[in-house]
Amino acid sequence: MSSEITNAPNFIRNQINEELETGRQSKVVTRFPPEPNGFLHVGHAKSICLNFGLAEQFNGDCHLRFDDTNPAKEEQQYVDSIKEDIHWLGFQWAGEVCYASDYFEQLYAWAQHLIREGKAYVDDLSPDEIREYRGTLTEPGRPSPYRERGVEENLELLEQMRAGNVAEGKKVLRAKIDMSSPNINLRDPILYRVRHAEHHQTGNTWKIYPSYDFTHGQSDAIEGITHSICTLEFEDHRPLYEWFLSHLPVPAKPRQIEFARLKLGYTLTSKRKLKLLVDENIVDGWDDPRMPTISGLRRRGYTPAAIRKFCEMIGVTRADSGVVDIAMLTHAIRSDLEDNAPRAMCVLDPIKVVLTNVAEGHQEVYEVPGHPAREDMGLRQVPFGRELYIDREDFMEDAPKKFFRLAPGKEVRLRNSYVIRCDEVIKGSSGEISELHCSVDFDTLGKNPEGRKVKGVIHWVSAEQALPIEVRLYDNLFTVEQPDRDKDADFFDHLNPESLVIVQGMAEPSLAKAQPESRYQFERLGYFCADRHACIDGKLVFNRTVGLRDSWAKIKKKG
């Protein structure tokens, strides 16, 4: 991959550097805490690269901890895909995978501790009443009539809730903090709800489940996390995070640090909305190559290196810096594949060319570099004969002067081969072009023609040896940069009807050995990746990763 230096800001890295230098911290322990309710997306990749990246860089540890406090929405398939995606990105968590549910027993004991300290109580208000009593940003809350229950009664009621003797919604456990705090999160937040649901880790053991707020900081403390890095929407939860840590006998005092989440142009980064696209069959599953999921990017042809480079390029700031140009993401993969993808010639919309001065059965084979700058990629064999395919786009019947490809009476060079001239256009009964009859100038192999300039070069494949391939031409899933900006409008309205166009093309025979997930530059067309699901039993299906034109590199040059 090209060694561009990125000096994008990363305030957390700077901060940790300083802590280690001044001895305020001796080891860095971070964690990545996904909720197993969907597949990871490019926004999560930012968080993964940050948390695992810091651990890697400072010789610390990064834990993988499933934040599994909501039994209703969580599933094992999500747990599995999350682990696979992290490994694929090239990261390894320290020790065993952790689950917040591993700490349910300890959290329960800490809830009892708060009750004994007079800092928690069981509340019988309904969810609606709780909301109403909580007040608003401009109005203080009111205390629940159950707020002054005695310690013994609270302990007994919590036991009853745990034992499954209380119906859902009838009682909750709340912290007793401050009903008039300007921070609504401190107005007696909920610690436990009754939920008679099966959990993918703990089965039917629990009838009550802790809230995210009551779980997260204490889990961090149990695991000895030093830097609990999260996105900005948790900023207002920080006082509560700290309140729990200071009122409980926790073994460590982690610190919460917030950063701005990634927003990416033409893309959704909400698991809930991505799940809708899957559930409504707008896309072909979570790993559809148009999805911004890590598994979708992978199937599209993205490499781990490109995603990691993109995350480095965008940097880490506290302030929200708006929508990231998707050209930055495509730039990252393009520059990786430019250096590392072998070349091949493929024709996406074949039109037959008959070379009338080449004998029937004539065969030539060219030895062509696998990559123009990578000797280690060796040579590939490109056969040439009397009949070829070229792309329909590379021929024009009434060509303007500046059209430097094939036209009647005009010459063009076949890449790696001869210069040919179009002598005759053969049409079918309905007027469509069926064949081009051309002739070869045999004196042009590896040298310029005598006495004239031929500007254009086009790609081609030998018809006899060509391999039929299916090519899936992917484009952005949405036609607007912020598909979910308008809260009242439906993002479905902005779906791009041309986000997938499937064509049947012809490829040079060297592609016969293309393995699933192998990536190529199809010369003059772009970068393509053999589909990991469809390429079985010798079938060749390629996904377009990106085209060749790099608008980000251009912007950088101008800027």
| Catalytic residue set | 35, 261, 271
Q: Report, in Å, the least distance between residue 134 CB and ligand ATP.
A: 22
Gap between the Cα atoms of 203 and 199, Å rounded: 5
Q: Is 551 helix (H, G, I), strand (E, B) or coil?
A: helix
Nearer to ligand ATP, 51 or 545 (CB): 51
Q: Is 186 helix (H, G, I), strand (E, B) or coil?
A: helix
Gap between the Cα atoms of 88 and 37, Å rounded: 19
Q: Report, in Å, the least distance between residue 212 CB and Mg ion.
A: 7
What pairing do the DSSP bridges indicate for beta strands 467-474 and 500-507? Answer: antiparallel
Instruction: Find residue 478's DSSP bridge partners.
Output: 495
Nearer to ligand ATP, 17 or 231 (CB): 231
Task: Identify the residue whose tokens are 């009807």.
Answer: 497
315 binds ligand ATP (CB under 6 A): no
Nearer to ligand ATP, 269 or 521 (CB): 269
Return the one option of ligand ATP, Mg ion, none that residue 271 interacts with (CB less than 5 to 8 A, by type): ligand ATP
What character string, x for contact with ligand ATP (CB under 6 A) and - otherwise, covers 39-58?
A: ----xx-xx-----------
Stretch that binds ligand ATP, among 16-24, 138-146, 263-271, 321-329 (CB under 6 A): 263-271
270 binds ligand ATP (CB under 6 A): yes
Q: Report, in Å, the least distance between residue 185 CB and Mg ion.
A: 15
In the complex, residue closest to Mg ion by CB? 35
Return the one option of ligand ATP, Mg ion, none that residue 420 interacts with (CB less than 5 to 8 A, by type): none
Q: Report, in Å, the least distance between residue 69 CB and Mg ion.
A: 10
Nearer to ligand ATP, 261 or 437 (CB): 261
Q: Is 211 helix (H, G, I), strand (E, B) or coil?
A: coil
Residue from the set 13, 113, 142, 261 that interacts with ligand ATP by CB under 6 A: 261
Return the one option of ligand ATP, Mg ion, none that residue 47 interacts with (CB less than 5 to 8 A, by type): ligand ATP
269 binds ligand ATP (CB under 6 A): yes
Residue from the set 116, 196, 253, 272 that interacts with ligand ATP by CB under 6 A: 272
Q: Where are the beta strands (DSSP E) in 362-498?
A: 364-369, 379-384, 387-391, 411-414, 419-427, 433-441, 457-458, 461-462, 467-474
Q: Report, in Å, the least distance between residue 314 CB and ligand ATP.
A: 10
Ranges of H-type helices in 320-465? 326-340
Quick check: 272 and 70 in contact, CB under 8 A?
no
Nearer to ligand ATP, 38 or 71 (CB): 38
Residue from the set 157, 166, 194, 262 that interacts with ligand ATP by CB under 6 A: 262
Stretch that binds ligand ATP, among 30-38, 157-165, 487-495, 543-551 (CB under 6 A): 30-38
Residue from the set 162, 207, 271, 308 that interacts with ligand ATP by CB under 6 A: 271
DSSP string, 17-59: HHHHHTTS-S--EEEE---SSS--BHHHHHHHHHHHHHHHHTT
Stretch that binds ligand ATP, among 34-42, 89-97, 340-348, 530-538 (CB under 6 A): 34-42
6 binds ligand ATP (CB under 6 A): no
CA distances from 138 to 135, 184, 362, 512, 544 (A): 8, 10, 86, 68, 53
216 binds ligand ATP (CB under 6 A): no
Gap between the Cα atoms of 102 and 124, Å rounded: 28
Nearer to Mg ion, 74 or 394 (CB): 74
Binding site for Mg ion (CB under 5 A): 35
Gap between the Cα atoms of 212 and 69, Å rounded: 7
Structure tokens at 554: 């251009």
Q: Report, in Å, the least distance between residue 37 CB and ligand ATP.
A: 7
Gap between the Cα atoms of 335 and 492, Å rounded: 32
Quick check: 393 and 349 in contact, CB under 8 A?
yes
Q: Is 333 helix (H, G, I), strand (E, B) or coil?
A: helix
Nearer to ligand ATP, 232 or 536 (CB): 232
231 binds ligand ATP (CB under 6 A): yes
Quick check: 386 and 359 in contact, CB under 8 A?
yes
318 binds ligand ATP (CB under 6 A): no
Length of the chain: 559
Nearer to Mg ion, 35 or 423 (CB): 35
Nearer to Mg ion, 35 or 484 (CB): 35
Residue 141 has phi, psi (to 5 degrees) of -85, 170
Q: Which residues contact 338 (CB under 8 A, 6 or more apart)?
A: 2, 521
CB-based burial label for 432 (10 Å; 0-12, 13-18, 19+)? exposed
539 binds ligand ATP (CB under 6 A): no
**Rounded to an integer, what is the distance from CA 56 to the centroid of its chain?**
21
Q: Report, in Å, the least distance between residue 61 CB and ligand ATP.
A: 17
Return the one option of ligand ATP, Mg ion, none that residue 269 interacts with (CB less than 5 to 8 A, by type): ligand ATP
- Kindly state the number of chain residues that form the binding site for ligand ATP, as judged by CB under 6 A: 16
CA distances from 412 to 415, 427, 428, 449 (A): 9, 21, 24, 11
Question: Which spans of this chain sit near ligand ATP (rule: CB under 6 A)?
Answer: 33-35, 38, 43-44, 46-47, 230-231, 261-262, 269-272
